Amino acid sequence: MDKTAISPSDAVADIPDGASIAVGGFGLVGIPEILIDALLEQGATELEIISNNCGTDGFGLGRLLEHHRIRRTISSYVGSNKEFARQYLSGELEVELTPQGTLAERLRAGGAGIPAFYTPAGVGTQVADGGLPRRYDGNGGIAVASPPKQTQEFDGVTYVLERGIVADYALVHAWKGDRHGNLQYRASARNFNPNAAASGRITIAQVEHLVEPGDLDPEHIHTPGIGVQRIVEVGPVTVGIEQRTVRADEEN
């Protein structure tokens, strides 16, 4: 029952080339950056990443991007990463853009064993009708476009069918965890992390504080240990500022 890994490097050692990985976090909050750095050092490539955003330049998943380790992403918000934009527009990176709530539900559904579900989000747009660029050809043309999705009317309202996501691995960040893998998230880090954790066939959690089984209040466990295969303590982390805006010096 003790699921603790010796180190972040040990925790990600078996992730192979081409693996699909659900990654928790929103912006710079709740990012499993230490596990991501360990994966960078490990060397796996041709990865498919499922994450709300793909890090920022020089941080989190942005580091994997810089080293061309990511082949494809399923993401919602990608506007804070210049290297992401460059790779996407040049045809180096395939991107499946997904509405934010839909992405969260696709992860949750996959973890719950639900293969697909209907949602009104995206109806009447290219999300449902197809034609969104997934990969450019490097010359301004579209090499791969999204296909049309099945729609269905219920009670006079049209919905689009979306597939649940089951990833080979999941990397998540939690505030506390015990040796059995039970996780507790803190504040806004409880965003995509629970859904990403549920989605992974093998879920790896970095925690700021590792406690003994029984120390966590069962009423405040957000991800049960049955859904976590490995856990590693990384100590307290510092959350960066994604967009720093300061007032201009009036004397200048």
| Domain covering 8-115+164-233, topology | Glutaconate Coenzyme A-transferase (3.40.1080)
Output the pTM of the full model. 0.94
The ranges of the chain with pLDDT < 70 are: 240-243, 250-252
Domain ranges of the chain: 8-115+164-233
- Asked if 71 and 93 count as a contact pair (C-beta separation under 8 A), the reply is yes
Give the residue from 94, 111, 13 showing the smallest Cα distance to 49.
94
- Asked if 124 and 141 count as a contact pair (C-beta separation under 8 A), the reply is no
What are the tens digits of pLDDT across the range 107-119?
Answer: 999 999 999 999 9
pLDDT number for residue 251 = 58
Give the residue from 25, 18, 66, 74 showing the smallest Cα distance to 45.
18
What are the tens digits of pLDDT across the range 57-115?
Answer: 888 999 999 999 999 999 998 877 899 999 999 999 999 999 999 999 999 999 999 99
